[in-house]
Amino acid sequence: MSFYESPIFIDILLVIMYVLAAAAIGITAWSMFHSVHMRNRESVIQGIPAGKIAWGVAILLSTTLIITGLLADTSAIVINGKTFSDTLWLRVSDMLINTSIILIIIAIIGVAAGSMSLGRKISKKEKSHK
């Protein structure tokens, strides 16, 4: 029996994973709560609607997690010859992976749209100064 197959170490590892998962969920929830409630919807910081952005991100994250969780694939998978069929963890892992992919794509689109908008604003200012 190797170190990684010893029952006592697996139990310790599982407890650590549960504690870290709970801590990550707790910190994320606190961060969202703090970010949204420290600003009202009308707060504008240096011309940027920070309140609307905070609410938008919180709503987008929540809805994306719910939708990807409901649509998650829960069919059993085989890894290294072992079958994993725990529906909860298959759903959670699929939900987190798909949510991450969707939010990264949305972030890339947002950055691209923002840079195009900024380029147009700079171009208009240069034309007006000439």
The pair of structure tokens assigned to 82 is: 């072992």
Other Cβ atoms within 10 Å of 84 Cβ, number: 11
Q: In this predicted structure, what is the pLDDT of residue 9?
A: 77
Q: What is the largest CA-CA distance in the chain?
A: 78
pLDDT band at 26 (very low <50, low <70, confident <90, very high): very high
pTM given for the model? 0.65
- The residue type at 74: T
Residue 130: strand, helix, or coil = coil
Q: Is the pLDDT of residue 27 over 90?
A: yes
pLDDT band at 56 (very low <50, low <70, confident <90, very high): confident
Q: How do residues 61-87 score in pLDDT, each as one tens digit? A: 999 999 999 999 999 988 888 898 989
Q: In this predicted structure, what is the pLDDT of residue 31?
A: 84
Q: In this predicted structure, what is the pLDDT of residue 54?
A: 79
Q: How far apart are CA 91 and CA 93, in angstroms?
A: 6
Q: How do residues 90-126 score in pLDDT, each as one tens digit? A: 999 999 999 999 999 999 998 998 888 766 666 666 6
